[in-house]
A and B are shown apart, each in its own frame.
Chain A
Amino acid sequence: MEVIATRPKSLTNVPFTYCPGCLHGVAHRLIAEAMDELDMRNNMMGVAPVGCSVFAYEFFDCDMAEAAHGRAPAVATGMKRARPDMHVFTYQGDGDLAAIGTAEIIHAANRGENISVFFINNAIYGMTGGQMAPTTLPGMKTTTSPYGRDENDIGYPIRMCELIDTLVSPYFIERVSLLSPQDINKAKRAVKKAMQYNKEDRGFTFIEFISTCPTNWGVDPLKARDWAKENMLPFFKVGNFRDKANAGGE
């Protein structure tokens, strides 16, 4: 029998712990496929965050470190500096990266660390039970914004790609969506590009995935995707913000 689809080698056999309809699994798979295709698995070290993907160190079949909440880019910096011959990525959620770990991500990006950062934006804290995230949309109800996010009180959601795009050093910045098969194909191309640059030590690469959280949004997975398309994509515009390989002179 011909094998037409299989589990990427860069994922272990450990079953994912994610909720039904969650898109973390898709993001994991895209990263793992890129690692396989670029033959990076044996020289790859990853950093797992605190959040729903806290067990990512059990899922990716390369050496992995579990970081404290928000500190993954600092941990990755230490790893890459200790083993410049290897490749390093972090996988982080929005609370981890855009709230408690803001300083670490901005400064790792600003140093142009030779690492890839994969950032899952689903506008909510998943693991702790649906609290407001720095990416929660105005008016959106969560357990800590029960009357809807009041942007006059707590501010607007943070657009991380745009923020990082103000820095000179980063090499590659792109926001992708996981909300449809076509989007996922596009996301795969961006992930592979970031990983390719990572392999070549070209600099800091950053990918933001627009994702969903059916469980904490309280809707079924398909409705979650529709909601994200209608509400998240207008605020978090997908697209490439920077690719220094295309910037000329490269």
Chain B
Amino acid sequence: MGEKVLMKGNEAVAEAAIRAGCRLYFAYPITPQSELIEYMAKMMPKVDGTFVQAESELAAINMVYGAAGCGKRVMTSSSSPGISLKQEGISYIAGANLPAVIVNVQRGGPGLGDIQPAQGDYFQATKGGGHGDYRVITLAPSSVQEFADMASLAFDLADKYRNPVYILSDGLLGQMMEPVEFKDAKTEKDFEELDKQHFAWCMHSNQDEPNHHHHEINSLEIDPKVLEKHVEKLGEKYNEIEKNEKRWEEYNINEENQMVCVSFGTASRVVKSAIDTLQEAGISVGLIRPITVWPYPSEAIQKALNDKVKKVMVFELNLGQMVEDVKIAVNGKLPVEFFGKVGGIVFTPEEVQEKIKENL
């Protein structure tokens, strides 16, 4: 760990990715993630890494597919409209069991929307987004430090499960500066270990017979029986991820809670402010902040529902996309209410306090 530096989230996650061993980065410029691509353009040459500004997000994600097929730590980033363009590639990456990290610095949508912070890509990230039966591990940071820390976590999870991983941030986290402390950079030895980890399946140089191997990076199985097995195996992997990788934060969760709030990312910070103020006024409200929004930490919500809790409230910067997951977790036990802002507007702590009070 080094000393603290004041950095934008977009730059911090880029620096952290490089330290985590990312040496290949392909992307296309889009606001509000441009500092990320610019940081990579500046820094990758200094670590003998590859930076390519692709002709489109489609091309970028397919470059990721190619590099991931070679077993290397590779990343792309974009903001909402660009992430939509990448969906084809993400489906192929998932179908071919490839590790890759995709950063989404969300902005207002749908369509061109605007360039202010939003959380409207929750469904896209957690429910598929592209075609076919697949899941993407989705990490939702709520501070610049966490955004940076998630770079190495995302690569570790991607490698562990050979699966794409999203870091689902937003314009606020991308543009905001906060103090951040970085982990030590990967060493040559670490890189060798990573290469070893992927050697069995990835594309690499071959030998003559009898030790000749032919590796295929592929999501095509034309025989339904074979595809059935392939997709079932993907399903087993997703079950394994659901079992092992749920992460969340509990904030002010205790026996006195009259309400439990659920909120992720930027929105959760505003909710925390509101909870602090209410606590000073003697009103006890807790917060479950999902850190992984897929797999979803349903059990954490269930556990937080003690006898005094009368209601669950979801706060998001969208029309209530996470409400469905919260309702599944609550399973009809309590009413689930929602308050959100759209259009790239972030609610204020005062607005959140009001909504909580109205619902007590």
A76 touches B214 (CB 8 A): no
| Cβ contact of A78, chosen from B64, B204, B220, cutoff 8 A | B64
Whether a CB of chain A sits under 8 angstroms from the CB of B331 is no
B214 touches A62 (CB 8 A): yes
- Chain A residue, CB-CB nearest to B63: A78
A86 touches B205 (CB 8 A): yes
- Chain B residue, CB-CB nearest to A57: B216
Given contacts A75-B63, A77-B52, A103-B55, contact A65 B205 (CB under 8 A): no
| Cβ contact of A43, chosen from B58, B205, B212, B219, cutoff 8 A | B205
Q: Pick from A47, A58, A66, A76 the residue with the most CB of B within 10 Å.
A: A66
Given contacts A63-B204, A63-B206, A103-B56, contact A77 B66 (CB under 8 A): yes
A64 touches B62 (CB 8 A): no
Q: How many A residues have CB within 8 A of the partner chain?
A: 35
A64 touches B217 (CB 8 A): yes
The segment from B67-75, B101-109, B306-314, B339-347 that touches chain A is B67-75
B65 touches A75 (CB 8 A): yes
Whether a CB of chain A sits under 8 angstroms from the CB of B84 is no
Q: Cβ of A165: which chain B residues have Cβ within 8 Å of it?
A: none
A74 touches B63 (CB 8 A): yes
Q: Cβ of A77: which chain B residues have Cβ within 8 Å of it?
A: 26, 52, 59, 63, 66
A63 touches B62 (CB 8 A): no
Q: Cβ of A61: which chain B residues have Cβ within 8 Å of it?
A: 212, 214
- Chain A residue, CB-CB nearest to B208: A42
A12 touches B214 (CB 8 A): yes
Q: Cβ of A81: which chain B residues have Cβ within 8 Å of it?
A: 24, 50, 52, 63, 66-67
- Residues of chain B touching chain A, judged by Cβ–Cβ distance below 8 Å, are 24, 26, 50, 52, 54-56, 58-60, 62-70, 72, 74, 88-89, 92, 96, 203-208, 212-220
Given contacts A65-B216, A68-B62, 16 further A-B contacts (CB under 8 A): A43-B205, A45-B203, A65-B65, A67-B65, A68-B88, A68-B92, A74-B63, A74-B65, A75-B62, A75-B65, A78-B24, A78-B62, A78-B64, A82-B66, A82-B67, A86-B205
